[in-house]
């Protein structure tokens, strides 16, 4: 088993920065691999990741088992996290999942978002206009973070003047939920973050019950069948999922355009390719590289025996470069026409916010490229977040030549 940890070590900075060579080896040599470091199985082939997401024996209820396994004192320390995360749609199986999900379906469809598009465009233009004339910015802090955070806060009805608090809480939650490998105190930081988010959303909920404001919190507050605890927990999920990932899509996507100037030129010349370019960014280097499950009963995959209760990571970023599913998968090609990427998952947990993430990115990239020429990374090395389930850089200093307003 040691050999697997030598091929893929999720704590190794070089692997965190570029996991793809290691993932390719696993996919070819050990497609069902036990990672001693992660204490979990890793599935790296497209077909296996797809099949697992269709298979009810792969349970999404991994949080309940985690908290139940803690010693009583520790469990008490983390009781708010257990209360909130235990109600997140993403960590539930049917029938509890079906009930919560029915309240979220339809909220982020393309039709429901139609009115948001001009507002998102205005946000993009404001952020680009604020970029310093000198042609340098931290793309994460100055664009990729505030755009999706502002959009999801506006949709929910969360006060924008609390953006800094939401950012801190969300970041601390990401260390835990994103399976950070090194963050000290990640559980206690997540607990404090949940406490802050819970109090804020409960306050907003009470306020909207008295004075509905036409935002998502007001709508959810009026929809029967959701307890306050369910509602608050899933608002936290929407806020968290609604921007941590999209930040990564924008930053990882721009990085790919910088590293592949021919593709950047193509998109600049033909902005109508934006939606296809975003699909390729998601396939090539998604910010949600893995989802995890707990196996509900003993099973065998490709001759490996997996026992009930063991954890499995479905390595979506490995699946999305599987040569069995995509021609020439290591090539970043925004004109690619074959293959369906699974960066938003598959099946009953398919990402609720996929249309929103796609819309934000498809609006952002043409405007970015129209506003910036000669874009380059202005750092010798970048710090990558070390989470197994979230991928992105902590910051991304860039330099560029301003090309006038979009
Ligand atoms: C590039 C951006 C995004 C990526 C790559 C992404 C990826 C994913 C993935 C892989 C899942 C499935 C998780 C699993 O099966 O365990 C998921 C679920 C989910 N996502 Fe996203 N997501 C993105 C953006 C968003 C946005 C913008 C929102 C909110 C508006 C959102 C809300 C959710 C929710 C609520 C779920 C849980 C759905 C369920 O369990 O039924 N996501 N996302």
Res 298: pLDDT:
98
b (16+ CB within 10 A) / e for 336-367: beebebbbbbbebbebbbbbbbbbbbbbbbbb
Which whole-number Å values give the CA distances from 172 to 149, 154, 194, 234, 301, in the listed order?
A: 15, 21, 9, 17, 35
Q: Please report the pLDDT score of residue 180 as a whole number.
A: 67
Output the residue whose Cα is nearest ligand 1's atom 40: 90
* Residue 291 in contact with ligand 1 by CB distance below 6 A: yes
User: For residue 279, what are the CA distances in angstroms to 203, 266, 285, 362?
Assistant: 38, 15, 10, 9
Distance 352 CA to ligand 1 centre (A): 6
- Contact indicator for 132, 167 with CB cutoff of 8 Å: no
Q: What is the pLDDT of residue 303?
A: 96
**Pocket flag, ligand 1, residue 392 (CB < 6 Å):** no
* Residue 57: predicted pLDDT: 97
What pLDDT does 2 receive? Answer: 62
Q: Which CATH number is 14's domain given? A: 1.10.630.10
Angstrom distance (rounded) from CA 140 to CA 255: 11
Q: Kindly report the protein residue whose alpha carbon is nearest to atom 17 of ligand 1.
A: 351
Tell me how far the alpha carbon of residue 242 lies from the centroid of ligand 1, in angstroms.
8
Instruction: Please state the domain count of the chain.
Output: 1
Residues of the chain under the 50 pLDDT cut: 406
Query: Whole-prediction pTM value?
Result: 0.96
Containing domain of residue 170, as a range? Answer: 2-402
Q: Is the CB of 245 under 6 A from ligand 1?
A: yes
What is the three-state SS of the chain?
CHHHHHHCCCCCHHHHHCCHHHHHHHHHHCCEEEECCCCEEEECCHHHHHHHHHCCCEECCHHHHHHHCCCHHHHHHCHHHHHHHCCCHHHCCCCHHHHHHHHHCCCCCHHHHCCHHHHHHHHHHHHHHHCCCCCEEEHHHHHHCHHHHHHHHHHHCCCHHHHHHHHHHHHHHHHHHCCECCCCCHHHHHHHHHHHHHHHHHHHHHHHHHCCCCCHHHHHHHCCCCCHHHHHHHHHHHHHHHHHHHHHHHHHHHHHHHHCHHHHHHHHHCHHHHHHHHHHHHHHHCCCCCEEEEECCCEEECCEEECCCCEEEECHHHHCCCCCCCCCCCCCCCCCCCCCCCCCCCHHHCCCCHHHHHHHHHHHHHHHHHHEEEEEECCCCCCECCECCCCCECCCEEEEEECCCC
Query: Among 8, 34, 31, which residue's Cα sits nearest to residue 19?
Result: 8
* 183 Cα–ligand 1 center, Å: 23
For residue 361, which atom of ligand 1 is closest to its CA? 1
Give the whole-angstrom CA distance, residue 368 versus residue 396.
15
**CB of residue 249 inside a 6 A radius of ligand 1:** yes
Atom of ligand 1 at shortest distance to CA of 53?
Answer: 15
Q: What is the pLDDT of residue 183?
A: 67
Q: What angle do CA 40, 349, 31 make, to 5 degrees?
A: 35
Query: Is 389 a pocket residue for ligand 1 (Cβ < 6 Å)?
Result: no
Residue 202 has what pLDDT?
Answer: 96
């Amino acid at each position: 088993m040691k050999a697997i940890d030598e091929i893929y070590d999720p704590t190794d900075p070089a692997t965190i920065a570029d996991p793809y060579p290691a993932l390719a080896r696993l996919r070819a040599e050990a497609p069902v691999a036990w990672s001693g470091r992660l204490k979990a199985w890793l599935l790296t082939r497209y077909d296996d990741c797809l099949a697992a997401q269709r298979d009810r024996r792969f349970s999404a209820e991994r949080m309940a088992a985690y908290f139940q396994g803690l010693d009583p004192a520790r469990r008490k320390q983390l009781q708010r996290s257990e209360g909130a995360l235990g109600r997140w749609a993403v960590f539930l199986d049917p029938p509890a999942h079906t009930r919560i999900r029915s309240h979220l379906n339809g909220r982020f469809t393309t039709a429901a978002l139609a009115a948001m598009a001009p507002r998102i465009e205005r946000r993009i233009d404001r952020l680009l206009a604020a970029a310093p004339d000198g042609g340098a910015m931290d793309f994460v802090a100055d664009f990729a973070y505030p755009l999706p955070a502002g959009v999801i806060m506006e949709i929910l009805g969360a006060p924008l003047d609390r953006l800094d608090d939401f950012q801190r809480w969300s970041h601390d939650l990401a260390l835990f939920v994103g399976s950070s490998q090194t963050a000290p105190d990640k559980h206690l930081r997540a607990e404090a973050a949940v406490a802050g988010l819970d109090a804020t959303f409960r306050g907003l909920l009470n306020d909207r019950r008295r004075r509905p404001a036409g935002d998502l919190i007001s709508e959810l507050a009026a929809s029967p069948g959701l307890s306050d605890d369910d509602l608050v927990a899933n608002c936290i999920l929407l806020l968290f999922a609604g921007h941590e990932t999209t930040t990564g899509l924008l930053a990882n996507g721009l990085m790919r355009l910088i590293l592949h100037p021919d593709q950047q030129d193509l998109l600049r010349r033909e902005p109508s390719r934006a939606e296809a370019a975003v699909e390729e960014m998601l396939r090539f280097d998604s910010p949600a590289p893995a989802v995890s499950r707990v196996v509900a009963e003993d099973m065998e995959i490709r001759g490996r025996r997996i026992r009930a209760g063991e954890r499995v990571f479905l390595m979506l970023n490995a699946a999305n470069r599987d040569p069995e599913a995509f021609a020439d998968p290591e090539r970043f090609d925004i004109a690619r026409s074959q293959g369906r990427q699974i960066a938003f998952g598959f099946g009953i947990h398919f990402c609720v916010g996929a249309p929103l993430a796609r819309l934000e990115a498809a609006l952002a990239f043409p405007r970015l490229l129209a506003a910036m020429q000669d874009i380059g990374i202005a750092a010798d090395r970048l710090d990558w977040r070390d989470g197994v389930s979230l991928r992105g850089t902590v910051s991304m200093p860039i330099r560029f030549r301003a090309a006038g307003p979009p």
